[in-house]
Amino acid sequence: MTALIAIGLCLLPGCSNPLSTPTCTVGIAGTDLQVTATGGNAQSFCDSFIKSSNGHGYSTDQPDTSGTLMCQYTLSDGTVITVRDKGFLKAYGSAECQALASAVAS
């Protein structure tokens, strides 16, 4: 009974559901790039993305999924990375997809 109450309470806003798959979305300020990571190491990927963005990276709780799906890769640890971009040239999305393709290939 206690477990059911604890799970029920985690359905409230601001409480993460222990049964859900970890997900986070990051981007680069001033661009329409959004990168979503899903899986056990999602937060680690997002933290690394922000750190490597030279002070321009950000995290969002409400991802914008209206951008063009540029690519989706599954990393060796099982984390699924989805890249979306709405920019005119989609240069940031293309660059991120190239970087992910290289990372997956190695």
20: left (phi over 0), alpha (psi -120 to 50) or beta: beta
What pLDDT, on a 0 to 100 scale, did the predictor assign at position 2? 41
What mean pLDDT is predicted for residues 48-62? 95
What pLDDT, on a 0 to 100 scale, did the predictor assign at position 17? 55
What is the CA 106 to chain-centroid distance, rounded? 21
Share of the chain above pLDDT 70, in %: 82
Q: How open is the CA angle 90-43-84, to the nearest 5 degrees?
A: 15
Q: pLDDT grade, residue 78 (50/70/90)?
A: very high
Average pLDDT, the chain: 87
Strands (E) located in the chain: 23-28, 34-38, 57-60, 68-74, 80-85
What pLDDT, on a 0 to 100 scale, did the predictor assign at position 6? 41
Q: With beta carbons less than 8 A apart as the criterion, state whether 74 and 56 touch.
A: no
Q: Which residue has the higher pLDDT, 80 or 9?
A: 80
Look at the block and give the residue holding tokens 């899903």: 38
pTM of the model: 0.81
Least confident piece of the model among 10-24, 30-44, 76-90: 10-24
As given in the structure block, the two tokens for residue 67 are 């951008």
Look at the block and give the residue holding tokens 């030279």: 54
Q: What is the pLDDT of residues 10-26, one digit of tens each?
A: 444 445 555 689 999 99
